[in-house]
Amino acid sequence: MRITLISGFLAVISLTPVGGWGAPSKVCSHKVKETVVAPHGWVKHSVPPADHTITLRIGLPQPNFHILEKHLYEVSDPYHDRYGAHLSKEETEGLVAPNPESIHAVNKWLESHGIMESDLVRSPAKDWVTLTIPVNLAEKMLDTTYSVWKHKSGDQLVRTTSYSLPEHLHEHVELVQPTTMFGRFRRDKSTIVWADDSEIAPVQTFAAKILDSVSGVAVDPTCKSTITIKCLQQLYNTVGYIPKHKNNSIGITGYLEQFANKQDLQSFYAEQRPDALNSSFKFISVNGGLNSQNLSEAGAEAGLDVQFAFGLSHPIPGTFFSTAGRPPFKPDVGTPTNTNEPYTEWLDFMLSSTNVPLSISTSYGDDEQTVPESFARRACAGFAQLGARGVSLMFSSGDGGVGDNDPNPETQQCFTNDGRNVTRFIPSFPASVTVVGGTTGIPEVAVSRFFSGGGFSDYFPRPKYQDRVVQKYLKALPKGTYKGLFNPNGRAFPDVSAQSDRFRIFLSGRSILIGGTSASSPAFAGIVALLNDVRLSRGLPSLGFLNPLIYSKAAAGFNDITIGHNSGCGTTGFNATKGWDPVTGLGTPNFAKLRKLVV
């Protein structure tokens, strides 16, 4: 053994661990790193078997992330000299790499527990270390006790509410998960309307078109009851535009065993986009994700996403990513792991890839308060890296209004996660990307069959690009409105919106209607892919992180939605109004205007 001075603290480190994993070879004191209160709805259920394995992700600090963030805003600001000068994969990795001292300190700690380099998986930038170990070893390393926690929905996870690290490691480790993360990572509601075929409006009509007074465009009258590719092309002014650039791309993320069926896609194309017939998408498995083509296993969410995103953007090449990573803990089945964090699995894969789609939509999320702030910030740092590389990321805003659109105070779930359990609006995660809310009808109004998620983050401060429009909205609110229920200084969302109800898709060979902000996000991503084509065709780089652009130069390219609200938490929520609002954002896209504003 030897005594080594690390960062001012004495630590006894064994050169050769004895007895394999978990050998007691250190005598340095632990200090609490993170403590949370179990979120509303979770109760401690049982003790996991000692040999139950858990996959831990250790995040090392990124001391130069502020430089990456500076680059991100410069290359995303249409008025900056560096606009569009996106970073390379290698450049972004260099800006998030940890200090060598942190890598060394963490290595020595792991070695003291018998964990060698061959047991580890490192991210390309070495800012994440992943290892799979028995839960009893994790408890020893983190000086904690894991339990099986059960949610009232029946979901079960192995988690703890507090963990510690040797004191000298605190400056070298930013977080260790899954430990205190109780997020359930759910898809946004895709509300299916199981109507008879006779009840679904036909996609062709010879009736006179109606005028959308918001956008000023003429739309087929059937679009009032059924949304098709043709409806979105008309509403958002893309009729006649044919993408041509060969280096463009669009992607859809799939999670939670949602499979995108190619036969359904062909049926959809035959009906709504016949020029796309016999074309398909590229499938990429992430972390063992599957995409069964059994028609009976087709996913409504996945089908909605690929049919409309790829249908709107055809012939731009599309990719569907299926990410595994949500097995619940079931002691009787012997589930090997229970890491319910597919965001990070997907981010690991994308950040290590050299060829990433330029426009990507995701229709899955969490309540922000169920995601530890340290983890939320690191996940968003990953999104920032993709943005700096020229990728536009769209996420749906959720369908719970300002938190939970259940009007019954007895069953609503709008409670704080700080032990007080007081009523509060619940923002969604993530909110640091481009967030897409929902509209419906002609003329368009905020969706009302469910409610467009919107509000203000409790974790992330409002970025400067939002200041003018958000402050204007807040000043117009009657004094004292919802005081204490939301953070007026937080990052506000959504940023934009799109149609989100009664989308006609094919599911397991049958046409159905489906709705939710999980429809608006892929629809908006399809429009972004078209805008990327405009830029690429002129020899310009892709749009990348959209928000600084859409809140400035491109703001005039959106149809302002001024009617509707987003109920939740026993309230009517916020109102849509002139200008930006936390229901529909800046509004819905007008491609004909935007294509002139983005070049």
| 469-518 confidence digits (pLDDT tens) | 999 999 999 999 999 999 999 999 999 999 999 999 999 999 999 999 99
In terms of pLDDT, which residue wins out, 421 or 375?
375
Q: Are 166 and 258 within one domain?
A: no
Q: Is the bond into 443 cis (omega within 30 degrees of 0)?
A: yes
Distance of CA 151 to the CA centre of its chain: 22
| Mean pLDDT along residues 56-67 | 97
What is the 8-class DSSP label of residue 7?
T
Co-location of 168 and 231 in the same domain? no
Q: Please name the residue ranges forming H helices in 314-427.
A: 342-352, 373-388
Percentage of residues in the chain having pLDDT higher than 70:
87
Report the range of poorest mean pLDDT among 189-203, 285-299, 359-373, 505-519: 189-203
Asked whether residue 141 falls in the same domain as residue 214, the answer is no
pLDDT at 425 over 70: yes
Per-residue pLDDT at 207: 66
Is residue 327 over pLDDT 50?
A: no
Residues 121 and 260 in one domain: no
Per-residue pLDDT at 3 exceeds 60: no
* Alpha helix positions (H), 314-449: 342-352, 373-388
User: φ, ψ for residue 384 (rounded to 5)?
Assistant: -65, -40
Q: Token digits for 585? A: 């954002």
Confidence of residue 188 (pLDDT cuts 50, 70, 90): low
520-553: burial string, b at 16+ Cβ within 10 Å, e else: bbbbbbbbbbbbbbbbbeeeeebbbbbbbbbbee
Average pLDDT over residues 190-201: 50
**108 in a domain, yes or no?**
yes
User: Could you tell me the residue range of the domain that residue 440 belongs to?
Assistant: 201-597
> Quick one: which H or E segment has residue 263?
helix 262-272
> Are residue 175 and residue 220 in the same domain, yes or no?
no
Report the mean per-residue pLDDT for the chain.
89
Percentage of the chain surpassing pLDDT 90?
Answer: 72
Choose the catalytic residue: 112, 215, 518, 542. 518
Shared-domain flag, residues 395 and 515: yes
Which pLDDT score, from 0 to 100, does residue 6 have?
A: 34
Tell me how many domains the chain contains.
2
Catalytic residue chosen out of the listed positions 139, 305, 348, 495 = 305
- Is 77 a domain residue? no
Name the domain boundary from 117, 149, 182: 182
The pLDDT value recorded for residue 412 is: 64
Q: Are residues 168 and 210 in the same domain?
A: no
- Cβ count near 350 (within 10 Å): 24
Residue 109 predicted with pLDDT over 90 = yes
- Binding site for Ca(2+): what residues are annotated? 560-561, 579, 581
Q: d(Cα 132, Cα 328) in Å, to the nearest integer?
A: 16
Average pLDDT over residues 523-540: 98
Distance of CA 232 to the CA centre of its chain: 23
Q: Within 285-372, where are the H helices? A: 300-313, 342-352
pLDDT in tens, 427-473: 988 878 999 999 999 999 999 888 899 999 999 999 999 999 999 99
Structure tokens at 213: 């007074």
Query: From the candidates 301, 341, 367, 399, which is the catalytic residue?
Result: 301
**Is the pLDDT at 154 greater than 90, yes or no?**
no
Dist CA 594 CA 215 (whole Å): 13
Q: Is 345 designated active site?
A: no
Confidence band (pLDDT; 50, 70, 90) for 26?
very low
Let me know whether 175 and 212 are in one domain. no
Res 191: pLDDT? 54
Same domain, 231 and 162: no
Local confidence band at 58 (pLDDT 50, 70, 90 cut-offs): very high
Residue ranges with strand state E in 89-185: 121-122, 128-134, 147-151, 156-159, 162-166, 175-177
The per-residue pLDDT for 126 is: 97
Determine the Cα–Cα distance for residues 581 and 216; give it in Å rounded to an integer. Answer: 21
pTM of this structure? 0.91
pLDDT average, residue stretch 293-308: 96
What is the average per-residue pLDDT within 97-105? 98
Is 237 in the same domain as 102?
Answer: no
Query: Which residues are annotated as part of the binding site?
Result: 560-561, 579, 581
* Domain shared by 484 and 433, yes or no: yes
* Helix (H) or strand (E) run with residue 504 in it: strand 503-507
Q: Give domain status of residue 169, yes or no.
A: yes
Does 79 map to a domain?
no
Q: Which of 182, 213, 230 is a domain's end point?
A: 182
Q: Is residue 69 part of a domain?
A: no
pLDDT for 174: 97
* Final residue belonging to a domain, choices 182, 217, 242: 182
Residues 174 and 285 in one domain: no
> How large is the average pLDDT for residues 200-217?
72
Q: What is the pLDDT of residue 192?
A: 58
Confidence of residue 310 (pLDDT cuts 50, 70, 90): very high
| 73 domain-assigned | no
**Predicted local distance difference test score (pLDDT) of residue 344:** 81
Q: Quick check: is 408 in a domain?
A: yes
Whether pLDDT at 576 is above 70? yes
- Domain assignment present for residue 191? The answer is no
Q: What is the CATH number of the domain that holds 206?
A: 3.40.50.200
In the residue annotation, 305 being an active-site residue is answered as: yes
- Residue 173: CB atoms within 10 A of its CB come to 20
